[in-house]
Amino acid sequence: MKEFAFKINGVEYKCAVEQMEAGKAQVTVNGKVYEVETQAAVPAAKPAPKAAPVAPKPAPAAPKAEAPKAAPAAPAAGVQVKSPLPGSVIKVLVSEGQAVKKGDTLLTLESMKMENAIMAEADGTVKQIAVTPGQNVMQDDLLIVLG
């Protein structure tokens, strides 16, 4: 389960993605459960929500092409912290070799003009930082490896 806190027009929303499978996700927003259909990520050049229904046919090819790029970073053993959504890395708050506790903020990711704190999923030591500030990432891209 992944949890997020969003602030939209001054209103706070607490969201949790309970489970995802076969293009559907169970999402809880402020205690209310929604069944959500997911699509392949739309390239950043097309941010308008109305463009999303038009883009899905070409979009599935993009994640398949990018998957091999993320694979070389996978051999590192340990807890892999992956991007919960597409966005841009604003700042990395840890360094390799640094000890972190579960819940510590590792980096800040901007997505849809909102800043999202990416937190450690377990206690450990930062073994690898796979991103740099300003880098664009897709959902499930490797961000940090904890050992």
The pLDDT tens digits for 97-128 are: 999 999 999 999 998 889 999 999 899 999 99
Distance CA 93, CA 43 (A): 27
Residues 34 and 79 in one domain: no
Residue 63 belongs to some domain of the structure: no
Residue 62 belongs to some domain of the structure: no
* Assigned token pair, 127: 């073994």
Q: How many domains does the chain have?
A: 2
Q: Could you tell me the residue range of the domain that residue 99 belongs to? A: 74-147
The answer for residues whose C-beta is within 8 angstroms of residue 88's C-beta and 6 or more apart is 109, 110, 111, 134, 135, 136, 137
Residue 51 belongs to some domain of the structure: no
Residues 14 and 82 in one domain: no
CA-derived radius of gyration, the chain: 16
Cα 122 to chain centroid, rounded: 17
- Given a cut of 50, whether residue 75 has pLDDT beyond it is no
In this prediction the pTM is: 0.49
Band the pLDDT of 42: cuts 50, 70, 90.
low
Residue 52 contacts residue 39 (beta carbons within 8 Å): yes
> How are beta strands 142-146 and 124-129 bridged, if at all?
antiparallel
